[in-house]
Amino acid sequence: MGREPSTPGAPWFARGIAPVWDRLAAPGGDAPLFRRSDLDGLPAPVARWLARAVEPGTPLARTALLEMSGRILVGGWRRFTARQVISAGRGYVWAATAWFGSLPVFGFDRYSDGTGEMRWRLAGALPVVSASGDDIARSAAGRLAAELVLTPGAALAPFVRWEAVDDTWAGARVEIGGRIHTLRVEVDAEGTLRSVRLPRWGDPDGRGFAEHTFFSLCSGERRFGGFRLPARVTAGWDTGDRGAPGDAEPFIDIEVTSAAFR
Q: How far apart are CA 17 and CA 92, in angstroms?
A: 11
Q: How far apart are CA 76 and CA 251, in angstroms?
A: 10
| pLDDT, position 241 | 54
Q: How far apart are CA 20 and CA 114, in angstroms?
A: 12
Beta bridge partners, 68, equal 82, 256
Beta strands in the chain (DSSP E): 63-73, 77-87, 91-100, 103-112, 115-122, 126-132, 160-164, 169-176, 179-187, 193-202, 210-224, 227-238, 250-261
| pLDDT, position 158 | 96
Q: Which residues contact 138 (CB under 8 A, 6 or more apart)?
A: 116, 179, 201, 209
| Single pTM value for the model | 0.94
**Following CA atoms 191, 193, 199, 202 in sequence, which dihedral angle do they give, to the nearest 10 degrees?**
170
| pLDDT, position 243 | 46
| pLDDT, position 29 | 79
| pLDDT, position 164 | 98
| pLDDT, position 27 | 85
Residue segments in the chain with a per-residue pLDDT below the cut of 70: 6-7, 240-247
| pLDDT, position 227 | 98
